[in-house]
Amino acid sequence: MLMKLLVLITFPIFFLLHSVSADTYIGQWEITGGSIIEIYQDGTTFYGKIHKRAMKPLSNFNGLDNKNPKKELRTRPLLGMIILDQLTYQDGALSGGTIYNADSGKSYKVKVWIDSEDTDVCYIRAYKSILFKTFEAKRVKPDNMAVSPK
């Protein structure tokens, strides 16, 4: 009986120590390839914008949103563009929103979570129906946040 009581008390404390808070997501994250996304919060909603493009982008070489299905948006710059949209924090992760892929001009449902063992590693998973693709991102430390030239 004492052992069960100890487990019931200890488990929630252990979970709280290893959970990731909403504030942990805020900051800049570098995706493999060199692009940097800046995640920020406005009220209870989270967004991510392109802070820096990869040195060797796959498309949109002129830095514009060329693949956007809306012709009037094809001349907007990618830098500063919101690509993570309408995410909310729930159960330690960001979800409920979309991610925009400027390489294809398509948006997908998205989930973002941080490794509770290493809060400098973030995973971004884009969903297309039952299929998904997961990207790993690493936190950009403040001394590495210098903005590179366009």
pLDDT in tens, 11-41: 333 333 457 999 999 999 999 889 999 999 9
| Residue 31, C-beta contacts closer than 8 angstroms, at least 6 positions apart | 37, 54, 124, 135, 136, 137
Mean pLDDT value across the chain: 86
**Domain membership flag for residue 40:** yes
* Mean pLDDT within 48-56: 94
pLDDT at 89 over 60: yes
Three-class SS of residue 107? Answer: strand
Q: What is the CATH number of the domain that holds 46?
A: 2.40.128.520
pLDDT at 16: 39
**Domain membership flag for residue 121:** yes
Domain hosting residue 81, numbered range: 21-142
Total domains in the chain come to 1
